[in-house]
Structure 1
Amino acid sequence: MTLPIIRPARADELDAIARAWMDSWVSTGLSQASEGLLNDLRARLPREIAGGWSLFVADDHGTIAAMLALHLPTFLLDQLMVVPTHQGQGLGRHLLAFTRQQMPDEIWLKCVRENEKAWRWYEREGFVFEKGAPNPVTGFMMKHYRWKRAKFVHAKEGTAP
């Protein structure tokens, strides 16, 4: 299987991105699909873009397979959401590799504590738990993670290359 192309999101596809976001979030079992949730996500997208999100999509021949929201100034991987029909096919790892190209030295993220599948995956991908704190908007307890590029040390000199 060929992986979808990761590209910047377009303004004319925000509705499809909101739907993909909702479908992915609902697949965690932590929420139910609803018009209210979809409308909240539709409203949030332009607000987050105005606040500094770099928004990308995984485009599978014209279908939004995933969304990726990065806040580059703060090294934050804010959202990585893969629609259920594309889960389990390596797309998350593909998006994470893309994220590491955008932020090669350090990445922060937050993950809902009850989304064990997600945070265990991030741990397997080299992220280290830093702290837990409640999200003031949603009330969910969040696990904060950090990934830092390994610095290689020359054994002989004891200095970085």
Structure 2
Amino acid sequence: MTRGDVLLRRARDADARAAADVWLRSYAAAVPTVRCAHDAADVRDWFARMLVPRCETWVAVAENSVVGLLVLNGRELKQLYLDPNWRGRGLGDRFVALAKQQRPDGLSLWTFQVNGAARRFYERHGFTEAERTNGQANDEAEPDIRYIWEPQSP
């Protein structure tokens, strides 16, 4: 899947570190007030051991560099992160369209309550709030929101 010199493709083992680094940069930029529960080495290990080999992980590649990632696990959209320099260019829209194509029966996801940009983004893409928590179930102990997307009936 290519558009505008950005290729969306399934991640390979060799992409794990670059994808983790995008995750780290994006997390720091998107939610600077939320403590990251894991250090960079742990995040890179998690990508290499778990996300890339065990989940449906996609990357966006531009000029031979990973600039975004999408992780699907069952019906859950586990991760959608873009390099901060790539926000606002339609890449997130392409990833959501891909996720809906891959999971036409519906999706769910979690995002932090303080992440207003992510909440607006997902709501714009038809996700609706299903649940709020006080954060006790996530590693960051940060209040979050579960969103769901269900295809519309014809």
8 A contact 1:3–1:91 mirrored in 2: no
Q: What is the aligned partner in structure 2 of residue 119 from structure 1?
A: 119
- Higher relative contact order by CA 8 Å / sep ≥ 6: 1 or 2? 2
8 A contact 1:69–1:79 mirrored in 2: yes
Q: What is the aligned partner in structure 2 of residue 38 from structure 1?
A: 40
Letter paired with 2:12: R
TM-score normalized by structure 1? 0.84
8 A contact 2:17–2:48 mirrored in 1: no
Once the two structures are overlaid, the 10-residue window that deviates more, 36-45 or 124-133, is: 36-45
Write out per-residue CA displacement over residues 44-92 of structure 1, whole angstroms, 9 at most, x where no aligned residue.
1134338841111001131111011100x2x000000010111110000
CA distance in 2, matches of 1:50, 1:91: 20
Q: Secondary structure at the match of 1:131?
A: strand
CA distance in 1, matches of 2:150, 2:54: 22
Give the unaligned 5+ runs of structure 1: 153-161
Q: What is the aligned partner in structure 1 of residue 106 from structure 2?
A: 106
1:124 positional shift:
1.2
Q: What is the aligned partner in structure 2 of residue 141 from structure 1?
A: 143
Q: What is the aligned partner in structure 1 of residue 152 from structure 2?
A: 150
TM-score normalized by structure 2? 0.87
Q: What is the aligned partner in structure 1 of residue 131 from structure 2?
A: 131
CA distance in 2, matches of 1:21, 1:136: 17
CA distance in 1, matches of 2:103, 2:76: 9
CA change 1:128–1:26 in 2 (3 A) is same
Q: Select the structure of larger CA radius of gyration.
A: 1
Letter paired with 1:114: V
Q: What is the aligned partner in structure 2 of residue 85 from structure 1?
A: 85
Q: What is the aligned partner in structure 2 of residue 27 from structure 1?
A: 29
CA change 1:43–1:92 in 2 (3 A) is same
Give the unaligned 5+ runs of structure 2: none
Once the two structures are overlaid, the 10-residue window that deviates more, 56-65 or 42-51, is: 42-51
Q: Secondary structure at the match of 1:27?
A: helix
CA distance in 2, matches of 1:136, 1:21: 17
CA distance in 1, matches of 2:65, 2:138: 33
Q: Secondary structure at the match of 1:96?
A: helix
CA RMSD after TM alignment:
2.0
